[in-house]
Amino acid sequence: MRVWPLLTVAVVVGCAPAQEAMDDVARAQAKGVVTPIVERNFPGTNATVVSDCVIDNASAGEILSIAQASVTGVDERTLKTVSDIIQRPDTINCVFRQGVFLFPEASNNG
């Protein structure tokens, strides 16, 4: 009788590294989609930093949706998802903490 709870724990613990690896792959694929979008829409910024902040502030569902675009192609839904994430206060704060301005010309005027 006690074998089932232990077996369940062993299976769950064994799945954790696989899940983490899948998350890492999805995040890398999503970043590959986000970076060119950032480069195109925010020229002159450090797209790598902005992309990291976007991915770090995206939900798991958003990451999977964006990652899917690496296979199916970027569409309006992908662009809207990335735009929505970029506009979140936590994403903006992340970018700012890294010393990156989304509108570099604005930082030179002031």
Query: Which pLDDT belongs to residue 92?
Result: 94
Which tokens go with 43? 């020229």
Query: Which pLDDT belongs to residue 9?
Result: 40
Per-residue pLDDT of the chain (110 residues; tens, 9 = 90+): 444 443 344 444 455 566 666 788 899 999 999 999 999 999 989 999 999 999 999 999 999 999 999 999 999 999 999 999 999 999 999 999 998 877 655 444 44
Question: Residue 29's CB: how many other CB atoms inside 10 A?
Answer: 18
Query: Which pLDDT belongs to residue 101?
Result: 78
Contact between 69 and 85 under an 8 Å Cβ cutoff? The reply is no
Which tokens go with 68? 């899917």
pTM for the model: 0.76
